[in-house]
Structure 1
């Protein structure tokens, strides 16, 4: 089984197009376009000597910060080396025999389950329904699986499911002996995210785990920090299987400062909302591109012009130093779909200009 493909591979792009990494505008990776906050940068510079020391293996200070941020006990939290690390830990710990995955979605769920010895069943979301789902449809599909992965908002489609539908699925999963994992890696970008997140419900549900990432919203992709929220019993089980020193000391410091920097968080949400709306409106003006409703910091699009598919478009843009995500590598999608990260205004303008040239040919 081949490793899943991801965006953001500037090394590969640099070799392919014979350009320096800093010459690319990377719309293929969904990272905060504002970059690191000044507060995080200052904290990292002040703490650089900690690279000489072993990190706190339990991330106690960071867990306290997260618990304050969420309003939960720190015993309900486990920190990992990015949320992807925790996906593998969940699969390794609960060792599912059969897992249900709603597709198209993040490819690491499938890989993590399969290398842990489990099998996967797939519920393909309908293109006609904008790849969204309702509680009744998942209920009909849930037949004996002991683990279910749900991404909300979903990557790559950007679809957002209501808390009501998610909690119904959790309750039905409990009756059927299934653990539900809700991946909220992009929830911080969502307007009124408190109305959608299940972190508070996770502490009291014995079959619900909620994954959160600091990588995307706080631009910590190179440091890797994520966490999982769940009932204390479930967190203890995960702790038993976690590798020691999973999160390096500088990552722990950066994550603590990130959670304390509410001004930066508010600035990011406002900026993303503004640029997402701008980018979507400009994409809608291009005949041959149909953007879907977007809830996070990226826009999922369908290509409708004859002669242009996702691979060809990615190649044409790549030659100009612009990278997008060709979604044909996602299970459940074909070469009619792309994903575009929301970037800064001047970068978004360059993308739109390049797309207009290509689609006007």
Structure 2
């Protein structure tokens, strides 16, 4: 089962949306891709403008300047870091470099874990998250899965439900992975959206867990998905196994320039992002619940919700798509149902427009009071 616009298995496909619903791809309000609503930091745009001339030369195949900045931030030496063309390349390099025969996933989870694993010839086994646990899996079930597979992918926070596992569960799984000889891959692509004091991560105790690889993305938090940039951290032996399989110059020069600017952009951008996402996630959650949705309590910059009956993911996707708004169908995620959808957390104006439009779709011709109220001239009051 797929959604109307997820023909490639992911959100953010405005070209398919335009072909399906009509209109200009750039004109859609896209809640199907989980990107920072603030856009890139000013420093990134300036660095790109100043660095355009570097397209005349090859990028650094060793990613040295970017790695040094990451080293300072993470407290790790560069040989603990692999830089990739987005987090997806890091996943592919793990599978290529370590060649697991059996891969484990926790469902519902990011579809690329299974898709890439099968693409590279591995069997995929999974355990199922439970609705009463906000779609987390039981630690005991994940430990049993570690006994059956060579490598386990785990989202932290997980996509599409946006929840974290407590750090003591991560530590428990990491210790189990040592006894079973399994690689535990923890995907932290969205963890930057969570305040540092609330992040559940093994990143700063990584040297205690030799079987753990952590993947992070620069594209979501810093809003540069078109440039593709991510990285993985682990012990040097595992990093070398990955980089030995990497195509030279897979990370382009402008992506590296952007990454360096991101890491130099300072705390202000990070704090503004987290404050906005926290406030708007609460508002969006309350608005969706008022419309009859059952919302999963996540911590990331997106929200998983079950639509009220009789609405399905495909019928709501069509209704909103025809009105210029894209949402992510989650009906294809193992364990979820035909009513599950995901909404990115955007800025106040966008969230207000989406809630108002969705309210008018669910209850035609009635004022919802959930989104942006309108003045007499039609402009929004937020």
Q: Does structure 1 residue 207 correspond to structure 2 residue 216?
A: no
Q: Deviations over 1:43-71 (max 9, x none)?
A: 10000011111000010000001111112
Structure 1's unaligned 5+ residue stretches are none
Specify which of 272, 275, 299 is matched with residue 270 of structure 1: 275
List aligned pairs for 1:208-227, cutoff 5 A: 208-227=212-231
Kindly indicate whether the alpha-carbon contact (under 8 Å) linking 2:127 and 2:137 is maintained by their aligned counterparts in 1. Answer: no
Paired residues, number: 358
The aligned counterpart of 1:102 is: 106
SS of aligned partner of 1:343: coil
* Deviation by residue 1:325-361 (Cα, 9 ceiling, x = unmatched): 0001223322120000011111100111111112224
Q: More displaced, 137-146 or 68-77?
A: 137-146
For 1:207 and 1:137, locate their aligned partners in 2 and report how far apart those are by CA, in whole Å.
19
3-state secondary structure, aligned to 1:92: helix
Superimposed CA distance per residue, residues 217-253 of structure 1 (whole angstroms, 9 cap, x where no aligned partner)? 0001000000000001111111111110111111001
> 1-side partners of 2:332 and 2:275: how far apart?
32
- Choose from 311, 328, 333 the match for 1:330: 333
Secondary structure in 2 aligned to 1:89? helix
Q: Report SS of the residue matched to 1:173.
A: helix
| One of 7, 13, 17 as aligned partner of 2:17 | 13
- Asked whether 1:299 is paired with 2:314, we answer no
Distance, in Å, in 2 between the alignment partners of 1:322 and 1:194 is: 32
- Measure the CA separation in 1 of the matches of 2:68 and 2:313: 44
Residue 360 (str. 1) matches residue 334 (str. 2)? no
Q: Is the 8 A contact 2:106 2:137 kept in 1?
A: no
Out of 197-206 and 68-77, give the one that drifted further. Answer: 197-206
Shift, 1:22, TM fit: 2.4
Q: TM-score, normalised by structure 1?
A: 0.96
Matched, 1:168 2:172: yes
- Is residue 320 of structure 1 aligned with residue 323 of structure 2? yes
Structure 1 partner of 2:148: 144
1:134, CA displacement in angstroms? 3.9
5 Å matches for 1:158-197? Answer: 158-192=162-196, 195-197=199-201
Instruction: Identify which of 123, 129, 134 aligns with 2:127.
Output: 123
RMSD: 1.5
Is residue 188–residue 215 contact of structure 2 (8 Å, CA) maintained in 1?
yes
State the match for 2:51 in structure 1.
47
Whether the 8 Å contact between 1:124 and 1:332 is mirrored in structure 2 is yes
- TM-score (normalised: structure 2): 0.91
Structure 2: give runs of 5+ residues left out of the alignment: 365-382
1:348 matches 2:342: no
Partner SS state of residue 22, structure 1: helix
Paired residue secondary structure (1:351): helix
**Correspondent of 2:248 among 244, 253, 257:** 244
Please report how far the alpha carbon of residue 36 of structure 1 lies from its aligned counterpart in structure 2 after TM superposition. 1.3
Within the candidate set 82, 99, 117, 2:86 is matched to 82
**Distance verdict in 2 for CA 1:121–1:4, change over 3 Å:** farther
CA shift at 1:141, angstroms? 3.6
CA distance in 2, matches of 1:325, 1:203: 37
Q: Distance in 1 between matches of 2:348 and 2:168?
A: 35
Q: What is the distance in 1 between the residues matched to 2:146 and 2:232?
A: 23
Matched residue SS, 2:323: coil
Q: Which residue of 1 aligns with 2:380?
A: none
Q: Take 1:95 and 1:176, find their aligned partners in 2: how far apart are those partners?
A: 16
